[in-house]
């Protein structure tokens, strides 16, 4: 295997806050019986994530509530907001963390690419183009 192939298979480094880590691990654990493939993938992503204090999460990292612009391997650009399952609404571009693509996006930053497997078993690749954080209310 060439170093290019090895690099393509390696997942990029991701960063999540301690609070999001705790909530996402709890969510994935609770979903193991209902949607084991997605729950196990989210747990695997959390296992490899760098877990940091809230103030140390990079401003451009995909977090819960982030709006993400990404490009697919075939060049199509899409814009979605990553949300918890109860807030998901595909028509509004709000995708759940408990979907294969939601799990793939968490913790990524612009320029990073990841391969992910859809529920139909097909493999896809996406590259994060831009990340916007939700406006904070004070």
**DSSP string for residues in 21-35:** HHHHHHHHHHTTTT-
- Of the candidates 17, 19, 27, 22, the residue with the CA atom closest to the CA atom of residue 84: 27
pTM: 0.88
Query: Tens digit of pLDDT per residue, the chain (138 long)?
Result: 444 444 455 789 999 999 999 999 999 999 999 999 999 999 999 999 999 999 999 999 999 999 999 999 999 999 999 999 999 999 999 999 999 999 999 999 999 999 998 888 889 999 999 999 998 644
Q: Phi and psi for 65 in degrees, rounded to 5?
A: 95, -10
Match 């995909």 to its residue by tokens. Answer: 62
User: Residue 61 gets which letter from DSSP?
Assistant: S
β-bridge partners, 67: 81, 132
- Domain annotation for the chain: domains and CATH numbers: 3-132 (3.10.50.30)
């Amino acid at each position: 295997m060439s170093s290019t192939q090895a690099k393509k298979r390696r997942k990029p480094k991701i960063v999540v806050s301690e609070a999001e880590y705790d909530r996402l691990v709890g969510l994935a654990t609770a979903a193991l019986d209902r949607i084991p493939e997605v729950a196990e993938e989210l747990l695997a992503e959390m296992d490899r994530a760098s877990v940091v204090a809230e103030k140390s999460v990079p401003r451009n990292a995909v977090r819960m509530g982030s709006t993400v612009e990404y490009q697919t391997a075939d060049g199509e650009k899409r814009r979605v907001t990553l949300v918890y399952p109860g807030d998901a609404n595909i028509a509004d571009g709000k995708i759940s963390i408990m979907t294969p693509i939601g799990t793939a996006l968490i913790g990524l930053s612009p320029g990073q690419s990841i391969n992910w497997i859809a529920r139909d078993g097909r493999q896809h690749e996406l590259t994060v183009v831009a990340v916007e954080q939700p406006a904070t209310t004070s």
